[in-house]
Homo-oligomer: A and B are copies of this chain.
Amino acid sequence: MKLKLIPAMLILMLFGFHASAQEALFNAQQIISPEIHENSTVTFRMYAPNASSVEVTGDFLPTEKIETPMGEMDGPGKAKLSKDDKGIWSLTTESLSPELYSYSFIIDGLRATDPNNPFLIRDVASVTNVFLVGEGQAALYRVNDIPHGTVARRWYDSPGLDMDRRITIYTPPGYEKSNEKFPVLYLLHGAGGDEEAWIALGRTAQIMDNMIAQGKVKPMIVVMPNGNVIQDAAPGEGNDGMYKPQFMVPKTMDGTYEANFMDIIKFVESNYQVKADKAHRAIAGLSMGGFHTLHISRYYPNTFDYMGLFSAAIMPREDATGKVYSDFDETLQNQMDNGYKLYWIAIGKTDFLYDANKEFRAKLDGMGMPYEYVESEGGHIWRNWRVYLTQFAPLLFK
């Protein structure tokens, strides 16, 4: 070879070199945070020599009461880190139970992400760092060395909403090469969420891959639509560009989504190898998505054999006058009369929707409408919704 070789060092250091890589190489703190130890304790570290206080706040700490405009509520706990003589603050937790946790730092009163942890998930308008600890339940949230399904972000035409809309679709391992037809789970997000919520915070692809590989869950397609009818896509992924997401989006719970849900089913059933019948359709959702599940499944009362209400909201708002909500009792009765395989309700003991669900169960009891009920610890949190998915999915299409 005739060309002068670029020195190996230069090549090593400079390929793909640009502004943030410079940071990574030269300025960033070469420390590991979080460090997950074998005994499931976790060490957080933050280089902040001039800070006078560094705390970590996250869902692995005992909750603390916080003042809100609506009164005192449970908020994430906080713990103080200690500074060493090099200016590195650190804290090692107690042994944590297996889970996907999220956290932020609070540095001199300001919330900050951990600059040494590039793994973050957006939840509504907040972005927090995440980490995984332990085996057991957490092993279902990991990527393991097993066959993997495909996760596609596609766009479907919704004639009812008069727009192309983005949708996240999980197809099981081997789907593309298979001649089989598969059952479908429609999996719906809560308020503030979108078509990214279940795949990111819910670890849906990892849960399905792992439980399918274990033989505990039937291979199925999981369809994760966007339940905010004024959006074509998640914030940053649609025509509205990048903007600060809101917790409640206009028209989200006025019946429009439920009334147009058939657009999604038609798209799926004309674009995928699916068993297009009631016996092979399931629908589930968390919080607002549980509400959508309840109302969609009774509004189309002979469409789904499996319903999952995860920490569901139950009743429409008083100002929601959509046709969907006008015949609650009659359609619920129809749904019962038509028959189904499973009506599954799960909620945490401290969930603010606990009483609403208790009333709903009393209503179902009064009607003689059969359901299965799971009561967990904890409140209205993703930790519960991931667990509910791992409990609900094995019951489907058996």
Among B14, B102, B191, B271, which residue has its beta carbon within 8 angstroms of that of A20? B102
If A107-B110, A126-B23 touch, does A155 touch B164 (CB 8 Å cutoff)? no
Query: Distance (Å) between the CB of A334 and the closest chain B CB?
Result: 16
In the complex, what residues of B have CB within 8 A of residue A5's CB?
315, 317-318
Q: Which of B24, B130, B352, B360 contacts A17 (CB 8 A)?
A: B352
- Asked if residues A16 and B113 are in contact (CB atoms below 8 Å), the reply is no
Chain B residues within 8 Å of A14, by CB: 352-353, 380
Q: How far is the CA of A142 from the CA of B5 in the complex (A)?
A: 40
- Interface SS of A by simple majority: loop
Question: Judging by beta carbons under 8 Å apart, are A143 and B237 in contact?
Answer: yes
Chain B residues whose C-beta falls within 8 Å of the C-beta of A13 in the assembled complex: 70, 247-248
A86 at the interface (CB under 8 A from B): no
Tell me the bound Cα distance from A247 to B118 in angstroms.
13
- Whether B110 and A23, one on each chain, are in contact in the complex, defined by CB atoms closer than 8 angstroms, is no
A160 to B386, CA, bound (A): 36
Q: Would you call B153 and A24 a contact (CB within 8 A)?
A: no
Given contacts A15-B313, A118-B245, A318-B5, contact A22 B70 (CB under 8 A): no
Question: A16, B288: Cβ atoms under 8 Å?
Answer: yes
Mark the stretch among A25-33, A217-225, A338-346, A388-396 that contacts chain B.
Answer: A25-33
Distance in angstroms from A242 CB to nearest chain B CB is 5
Chain A's interface size range is 35 or more
Contact A20 B113 (CB under 8 A): no
Q: A363 an interface residue at 8 Å Cβ cutoff?
A: yes
**B68 near A110 (CB under 8 angstroms)?**
no
Stretch at the interface among A91-99, A144-152, A179-187: A144-152
A68 touching B3 by the CB < 8 A rule? no
In the complex, A398 has a CB within 8 A of chain B:
no
**Residues of chain B contacted by A300 (CB below 8 angstroms):** none
Residue on B nearest A242 in the bound complex, by CB: B119
Q: Counting CB contacts under 8 A, is A51 at the interface? A: yes
List, sorted by A's number, 24 A–B pairs whose CB atoms are closer than 8 Å: A3-B360, A4-B359, A6-B315, A8-B318, A11-B253, A15-B190, A15-B313, A16-B189, A16-B380, A17-B380, A18-B381, A18-B382, A20-B124, A21-B247, A50-B108, A51-B108, A116-B125, A116-B244, A117-B242, A118-B127, A119-B235, A130-B242, A150-B154, A152-B152
